[in-house]
Amino acid sequence: MTTRAGADAPLHGLDKVATKAQATKFIPGQPDMWAFVLFETLIFTSYFVVYLLFRTQHREPYLQAQADLDLRVGIFNTIALLLSSWAVARCVQAARNGAYRSALTNAFLTILFGFVFFVSKVLEWVKEIRMGNGFTTNEFFQHYFFLTSIHCLHLLIGFIVMGVVVYQLWHPKRRSQELVETGATYWHTVDFLWVLIFALLYVVR
């Protein structure tokens, strides 16, 4: 979690204690969004537990089906989303410093990298379906299509959220730092969930 006091110059005595207390209390964006992050994480954890339990029971068929997934595509997806998260973090930092032009550029970069992820994911789905791996083909691909599509739905909602961020940054009369950080928190959640999905579907063999 980011702390505003983190970048401050070294302090001594009581000031330091007070700043530390402030720093530990600071939550980026609306604290309510963190409740969403927690709840979504719990729901996704339950999906992951179900996947892992079934995988443990039918290890061989899962491994065979998994061999059809291209790890390089997964890595490309992950890099695209990590870049988008990096851009949204720079957007927040720029908005905090009042550099709204730079913040807007980074918000658009976030959307661009998110879109690259989305297109590559759709192309991967098409490729898998052409290879004969559909949603009903086997258990592994049931989980694959389910987890990747529910995650993609979160990504599409993320585009709306980033639209709100751009709307906030666009006009000097708005520019709510809280909403910008709330949007960034949501976007990081999309990224964070993808990293877990990537690890479970592509990497764990």
Partner 1 sequence: MSAASAEALAPLEQPPGSLISRFIWHCRNNPKRELWFAWGTTVVFYNFFTISFFVLSRTQPPANPALDAQGAAHWFEKNHYGILLGFAIMFLVTGMTAPQNALIAYSMRRMSISPTFGYSYLVLYSLSAVPGMLLLCIVLTVGAMRPERDPQIQQWLFDLGFLSYVGTMGVFLIGSIVWMLAILIDKNRVFPKWFGYLNLCNALTEVVVSPAWIFHSGVFAWNGVIAWWIDMVVFGIYTGVFLTLLRNMIRREDFGTGVLPDLPPKQTLETPQLAKAAS
Burial of 76 (0-12, 13-18, 19+ CB in 10 A): middle
Q: Cβ closer to partner 1: 87 or 201?
A: 201
Residues near partner 1, by CB under 8 A: 30-33, 35-36, 39-40, 43, 46-47, 50, 54, 135-136, 139, 142, 146, 150, 153-154, 157
Q: Cβ closer to partner 1: 105 or 138?
A: 138
In the complex, the smallest distance separating the C-beta of residue 139 from partner 1, rounded to whole angstroms, is 7
In the complex, the smallest distance separating the C-beta of residue 20 from partner 1, rounded to whole angstroms, is 27
In the complex, the smallest distance separating the C-beta of residue 42 from partner 1, rounded to whole angstroms, is 9
In the complex, the smallest distance separating the C-beta of residue 59 from partner 1, rounded to whole angstroms, is 17
Q: Cβ closer to partner 1: 50 or 204?
A: 50
Burial of 68 (0-12, 13-18, 19+ CB in 10 A): middle
> 31 near 57, Cβ under 8 Å?
no
Cα 32 to Cα 84: distance, rounded to the nearest angstrom: 23
Buried b (16+ CB within 10 A) or exposed e, 161-191: bbeebbebbeeeeeebbebbbbbbbbbbbbb
Q: Cβ closer to partner 1: 19 or 137?
A: 137
